[in-house]
Amino acid sequence: MAGHFLNFFLEGSIPQVTVGETLDDGDFLIDVRTADEFSAGSIPGALNYPLFDRTEHSFIGTLYRQEGADSAMECGKNLISPRLERFIKDLNPLRSRQLTIYCARGGMRSSALTRFFRRIGFQVRQLKGGYKAYRNYVLEQLQRIHAHLIVLHGQTGVGKTLLIQRLPLSIDLEDLAQHRSSVFGAINREPRTQKNFEGLLHEAFRKLPLDQYLFIEGESRKVGPVHIPETLACSMKTGMKVLLKATLDTRVHRILSEYSVKDPETLSKVDAILKTLKQQLGKKLVNHLSYCRWQGEFKEFTTILLGEY
């Protein structure tokens, strides 16, 4: 199988598909970039089957620049061949599905694997322009969004996110960003990159009717480490605003229930964040918060913080 693959590594034309077409058709997406590339930004729902790891990909790139395309392709073929049997085994359950394979720019990695899987009977095509084309498509589409919004405002813990999660026509920015948009917002979360956030935001809007009012939580231009697109931020400013209220006890109870700070790793993260607040809140208050944390008095800890923000 591997030897046969080497013979047609660069032979024959392959069908290509645009970003819009593959998204509309609901193709099953296969990302053949490195795990690092995939983690930095990928198409929502895509599976990652790296042809090379980061070191191999870098080496092939260097070989291409120093010795030319033939040397780089020969090296790539030798690295790929032993992995093909595993690829076939892993993807065989998808043999009857329409697959779209992509790499960074629609180049050698995705074209090679597209040719290979077509030769062994898979329904597969290559994404024209690769992830770069997808990224440009998403940025362009997000700039075109002019949604009718009902924007929920209120203090931390009033239940904005809980309400958003129960409303059918809504966008949960904090879930998309995997950050609660507060100083402790990354606790028990893995914040997403800007590229992944925007990809998921675009996917969320694709599924919603933009001619109807949509619910969204009032945020600044940032949700943790990611920025909200300018057009969406403008729609949020001009949208219908609703103020939610709750008692302090209710807010404290909700926050304690959601954050559930118990394990040593999470407690260590809390301590690290507290150290950054000394200039903002003052050393005396931060020391008291640290004391509450070490005593396990998280109700008092949370009550104090809610009074400060």
Catalytic residue numbers? 103
| Pairing mode, strands 148-153 and 240-243 | parallel
| Pairing mode, strands 226-227 and 222-223 | antiparallel
Q: Is 103 exposed, middle or buried (0-12, 13-18, 19+ CB in 10 A)?
A: buried
Query: Any bridge partners for residue 29, and if so which?
Result: 100
Cα three-residue angle 205-206-212, rounded to 5 degrees: 60
Distance from chain centroid for Cα 59: 28
Residues 6 or more apart whose Cβ sits within 8 Å of residue 137: 19, 20
Tell me the H-state helices in 149-282: 160-166, 173-177, 194-206, 230-238, 248-259, 264-275, 278-281
